[in-house]
Structure 1
Amino acid sequence: MPAQDDAVEPPALVLEAVHKHFRQGRRQVQALKGLSARIAAGGVTGLLGPDGAGKTTLMRLAAGLLLPDAGHVRVLGRDTRQEAATIQQDLGYMPQRFGLYEDLTVQENLDLYADLQGLDAAQRNARFVELLRLTALGPFGQRRAGALSGGMKQKLGLACALLRAPRLLLLDEPTVGVDPISRRELWSIIKNLRAQDVTVLVSTAYLDEAELCDDILLLHEGELLAQQPPAAFEAPLAGRCYMVRHAGLRRRPLQAALQARAGVLDALVQAEGVRVVVEGRAPLAQGGEDWQPVPPRFEDAFVSLLRKAEPELVPDAALQASRPSPAGERGGCQQSAVDEAPVIEVRELRRFFGSFEAVKGIGFSVRRGEVFGLLGANGAGKSTTFRMLCGLLPASSGSLRVAGVDLRRASAAARGRIGYVSQKFALYGNLSVAQNLSFFASAYGLRGARRQQRLDWARREFELGAYAEASAADLPLGYKQRLALACALLHQPSILFLDEPTSGVDPLARREFWQRINLLAEAGVTVMITTHFMEEAEYCDHLVLMSLGEILAFGTPQEIRGKVKTEAMPAPSMEDAFIGLIQAHEAQVRRAA
């Protein structure tokens, strides 16, 4: 634990041997198990851990919304058991699902929260001006909150949490579901709070954000695994991180081979190859592989620390039952999907909502067995395009063919070949896991022995047996994702649509998810995905980058990154490309307006 002189600067938050449990149906869940930690005043502390680690429980205890079963929580020197109401006067709390009123304007939301927090007229007007400047929401004061982009909604939620000028700010995954541009803007605001003597405790699923923190608490299964600055996590991995390339293998198959190799803790597809973390200090190279050492990152440390405590990733054979029917499989030579006819064809696709044109004459094609990415800022038209491709939303005009079927004429015929995982958890939260699986099996027309076979497969391959009787709404986020994907794959679709499926999911669960997706693609399933995790874009064979309803760029990840390559930035990341291309396009649109 970091050394500190409490006599000079008392800690902002102290947890002493804190226990907290909940009941979920017949199960008792130990959310925190004797956790002790101190959060120094005046800095930004990151709260990290896999799904179910206890992060949100810790946040709610710190906010005085829950009381510990045992132990003590002291916030700004006060015990939450005796002084919860007083504590709440000095802190701001932004939960994962901050309750904005979408039918009210930005200013009306601020007015409402100022009323709820008891700010008088003299306080609030000056505070409104300051917060609207800080969040750059000043020009949007009269815009309805429901019409804001995802990033702007998060900035409004942050402004509401800051109304009282808190001494301690609690942020529970504030950047979930927002695009890279909005993430940078939110973190610029968070870092600027240091100068105002605000202590920030922020949980996040983005490990690059952890490197922006002064200190990190890493939780696992309700216990404190480690607390130290980011650099201290990285130091033990010096000499154990490599970038691996192979001239004869694509990155996805190379990653699968490396991940299965003894002594490899992590293998992650990146722009230059596959990033590998090994247990020892000697590379585990085999024929044709080029291993080059690279400096460690916080993400390497996070995954390495948790890998041994987490279940093994799905074995290579685990998804055989998810393959398309034998008649639809590729031959043993695994011929490239680019040699086959497109299974998705979009031409001059448009969608209007009233007079607003959300999708503006876009076109692209996706071939069988491809992983195809659809990227863009919040409000770019990605989800609208997805819903049209799935037959859930009619196109205003244009040509749209999926699996050889014209969706504008016979969408029902195509749906039987499509699996869909929506941006928001769209299963039935009040039904159990088993009931959800049974419902979707019926909806897809599964009967008799095949129905039972597929249900058994879903429970086994997604490790849902222990949660069979749990309500879907009560599942950890990673298991919600597993259940959604299992339901989408029950009928063995040949095309899989995934709309931001890993939003908010921890890195280990994302790796497991992508191993499944890569195996499906290798088996011939066409996968179309939207994501705000730019490293996930590297898994795609081709990408489309959208902005304001238009396509800015199309190509492989390497080709997209190449569009922003300069002497000053010779090796741009996908995030660099995303931000550079979109900001340039938006500036061009503003100049033309």
Structure 2
Amino acid sequence: MSEAINEPTFEREGATLNTPRAAPSPTSGSRGFFGRLCSALFPGKLREASNSKNANAAAPKTSGKTLETHSDRECGARSDPASDPTQPLSIRHLSKRFPAPDGKVLEALSDVSIDIFRRGENVAIVGPDGAGKTTLIRTIAGLLKPDGIEANGVKVAPFIRVFGRTPDTNDPAFTETIGVMPQRFGLYEELSCRENLEFFAAVKGIRGDEFEKRFARLMNLTGLAGFESRPAGKLSGGMKQKLGLAATLMTTPDFIVLDEPTVGVDPLSRRELQRVLEDVRRTDGVTTLFSTAYLDEAASADRVYILEKGRIVAGGTPSDLLQRVKGRTWRAVPAGDAQGNSLSNGKSGEIGSAAQHLARALMQSVCAVRADSPWLDAVPRGDGVDLLARAGADRAALERSIAELSSAGLPAALSERPETLEDAYATLTFEDGGSEASSVAEGAKSNTAQPLDTGKNDPTDDASTPVIRAEHISRRFGNFVAVADTRFEVRRGEIFGLLGPNGAGKTTTFRMLCGLLPPSSGEIRIDGVDLLASASQARARIGYVAQKFSLYERLTVRQTLRYFGECYGVSGRALEARIGELLSGPGATLGVHLDRRAGMLPLGAKRELAMACALLHRPAILFLDEATSGADLAARRAFWRRIVELARNGTTVVVTTHFMDEAEYCDRFLIQDAGRVLVLGSPAEVRRSAGAATVEEAFRTIVLENRSKEAESKSGGKPPEKSSSEGSAK
């Protein structure tokens, strides 16, 4: 593997380090991961070599050098608490630098210090993609060698201890102490769940009855019982994550680090993974450190560290962080129709409820758009809008801003609400320049937001006109039915969401609507054109932003825009004019990157470039596949402000997302499971159908109730209640 991140610290023979577990027996294999891997694969090969090594292992060889401990060398006195062998984690002055593609140095981590004092604690590292979370996790695990810092011309070495041990993948005692779960665990997709766990257990020297006992417990704990013989490649995303976690827990380490264990995982699987980790902490006293972009997950941790551009910008208990926003959190609800019923609100053909209209007005009234606004953040939630006031804004100014909405036909009532970790995160990243979307991406802040011209989409068109019509579509892969007899319509200018658990069929449905996958049966019409009969004509009406952006990394921004424009049939002066529109729209920042290669752009700029490419030909319909995945909070807010403006000007937007709070931005959405539509309606209608206060709660209730009914139906030999997958919110 990688080299040890520090020189090893030697102990006197017979001395104890007071670690919770002893180092593994020499009979479990040679020193280091690869030695144990060879031992697992070829158990007889290393036994003789291991025995000969044991005979000569009475004392470490020093080669004439004076041995010193890191606590003596780096931290002064040996009694420094950072070297406490009972402390789960201590980090001081950790930095990490990499060479960038342009020849410069990229500082992924900068002077990071973290402490976990108590065994069994659960600690969260929160930050967007590119913040340095993965680099931090890999360094703690000993997979990367850290760099120190330079203070006042003096180089200060980094200090990392896990239960008193220096991270070193060649140290069996360290590798027994720590468990690591990367984002992509590296499962063998051709092997079954059992075979994968047998392999990872053998690497750790666990076989026979001990394996069977642990295997049975982990299958029950993770909910994978009954799937033992299923190949890993045929598991859903959530089930793969649970199998990866089971492999990590096979040895029950003292300390587990998890790199975004719930990334790309639906709310049900996220909750199940959290339950597994809670059970392990409670029963085995395991300490956990996990990274995440989900602030609701972080809110359940004992301590939270917020990582922005490689720096820890805040840390403490969730309650400590909430003190930062005391007295600044508010909620606005429509004074008239607070029930969320669909209405026109006096605006011809406009879709949505009073709560949605209020939310969209307040979204365009935050200080990122209007410099004189008293509001830092506005997000639709339930039948109202959660608001965060700017620091120093008085109540009179807040109430005046709400009163101004009455003149626009949006009367609302303002009241205080409890603080959330999302509010604390916003104050740190929106105000302190931690986000490109709030500072650079919003550009020069103007008093009014100008809508982006979408050209041929006429906002006076009848909003009830369907531009997407799916008639009894299904998709089969061999004998497996991914989507079953599904029908729905999407109206012009509507923001429409596809939601569902991993493996529910939403990605297959999305790909069929885009024309990337033909349905096995049924018909899809795009803006009146049959997608199968006239594929090229239908696709000309579509813009598509993939989750991974699909950009050519060696092309500059200018070259990329010209290339995609010509692919869509736009060229010459018309293309240059269109590029100019996209570069000068509200929140546009690509103008400063025009001659920079796409592969060297920051994540936010890549996302903006992918969006610009999809809009070059003025599509009637824009498809967005997990477009905000990995984005920071401010970038997500800026993204949705733009989507709302596009829809207001007549563009139909279809989105998939695992952020349940983003479903509140949709005019309507459907929830799928097992290839069938369970419900379809506005956010308010779906919440009411489930008797839930939030979309996430409604999602869990609807999916779990349907699965319970399906299981009951199968056990009783009854046929499914519905033969057609047409959802509705009653």
Structure with greater strand share of residues: 1
Deviations 1:268-297 (A, max 9, x none): 111121111112363312323321110101
- Residue in structure 1 matching 2:363, options 248, 252, 256: 256
Deviations 1:87-117 (A, max 9, x none): 2332111122221222221112212323444
- Residue in structure 2 matching 1:234, options 298, 308, 322: 322
- Residue in structure 2 matching 1:588, options 673, 695, 709: 709
* Closer, same or farther: CA 226–378 of 1 in aligned 2, 3 Å: same
Whole-angstrom distance in 2 between the partners of 1:145 and 1:476: 34
Do the aligned partners of 2:515 and 2:531 also contact (CA within 8 Å) in 1? yes
- Residue in structure 2 matching 1:13, options 89, 95, 100: 89
User: Within 5 A, what are the aligned runs for 1:489-568?
Assistant: 489-565=615-691
Count the aligned residue pairs: 578
Do the aligned partners of 1:19 and 1:35 also contact (CA within 8 Å) in 2? yes
**Are residues 1:77 and 2:164 paired?**
yes
Give how far 1:554 is off: 1.5
* Closer, same or farther: CA 121–452 of 1 in aligned 2, 3 Å: farther
User: Within 5 A, what are the aligned runs for 1:238-317?
Assistant: 238-246=326-334, 247=336, 250-259=357-366, 260=370, 262-278=373-389, 279-280=391-392, 282-283=394-395, 284-285=398-399, 286=401, 287=403, 288=406, 289-308=412-431, 309=433, 310-311=435-436, 312=438, 314=442
Whole-angstrom distance in 2 between the partners of 1:344 and 1:153: 33
- Residue in structure 2 matching 1:47, options 104, 125, 145: 125
- Residue in structure 2 matching 1:36, options 90, 95, 113: 113
* Closer, same or farther: CA 231–99 of 1 in aligned 2, 3 Å: same
Structure 1 match to 2:277: 190
* Closer, same or farther: CA 425–13 of 1 in aligned 2, 3 Å: farther
Do the aligned partners of 1:239 and 1:281 also contact (CA within 8 Å) in 2? no
* Matched position secondary structure for 2:467: strand
* Closer, same or farther: CA 157–166 of 1 in aligned 2, 3 Å: same
Do the aligned partners of 1:64 and 1:88 also contact (CA within 8 Å) in 2? no
Deviations 1:201-223 (A, max 9, x none): 11111111111100011122222
Whole-angstrom distance in 2 between the partners of 1:48 and 1:89: 27
Normalised TM-score (structure 1) = 0.90
Larger radius of gyration: 2
Give how far 1:441 is off: 2.9
Deviations 1:319-358 (A, max 9, x none): 755x321x43224xxx8x63x4111111211112122222
Residue range with higher mean Cα deviation, 454-463 or 435-444 = 454-463
Whole-angstrom distance in 2 between the partners of 1:439 and 1:231: 50
- Residue in structure 2 matching 1:356, options 477, 480, 496: 480
- Residue in structure 1 matching 2:302, options 196, 207, 214: 214
* Matched position secondary structure for 1:440: helix
Structure 2 match to 1:65: 143
Whole-angstrom distance in 2 between the partners of 1:462 and 1:84: 50
Normalised TM-score (structure 2) = 0.74
Whole-angstrom distance in 2 between the partners of 1:516 and 1:256: 10
**Are residues 1:98 and 2:191 paired?**
no
Structure 2 match to 1:399: 523
What amino acid is the match of 2:458?
A: E
What amino acid is the match of 1:590?
A: A
* Closer, same or farther: CA 524–245 of 1 in aligned 2, 3 Å: same
Whole-angstrom distance in 1 between the partners of 2:571 and 2:89: 56
- Residue in structure 2 matching 1:440, options 557, 564, 570: 564
- Residue in structure 1 matching 2:503, options 379, 382, 402: 379
* Closer, same or farther: CA 147–480 of 1 in aligned 2, 3 Å: farther
* Closer, same or farther: CA 64–470 of 1 in aligned 2, 3 Å: farther
* Matched position secondary structure for 1:409: coil
* Closer, same or farther: CA 534–262 of 1 in aligned 2, 3 Å: same
Give how far 1:528 is off: 0.9
Whole-angstrom distance in 2 between the partners of 1:63 and 1:106: 25
- Residue in structure 2 matching 1:169, options 256, 259, 273: 256
Give how far 1:9 is off: 7.4
Structure 2 match to 1:205: 293
What amino acid is the match of 2:424?
A: A
Ranked by relative contact order (alpha carbons within 8 Å, sequence separation 6 or more), the top structure is 1
Whole-angstrom distance in 1 between the partners of 2:665 and 2:198: 45
Deviations 1:452-481 (A, max 9, x none): 444555566653466667775676554443
Do the aligned partners of 2:84 and 2:164 also contact (CA within 8 Å) in 1? no
CA-atom RMSD in angstroms: 2.7
* Closer, same or farther: CA 478–118 of 1 in aligned 2, 3 Å: farther
User: Within 5 A, what are the aligned runs for 1:464-475?
Assistant: 464=590
- Residue in structure 2 matching 1:367, options 466, 474, 491: 491
Structure 1 match to 2:350: none
* Matched position secondary structure for 2:690: coil
Gap regions ≥5 residues in structure 1: 566-570
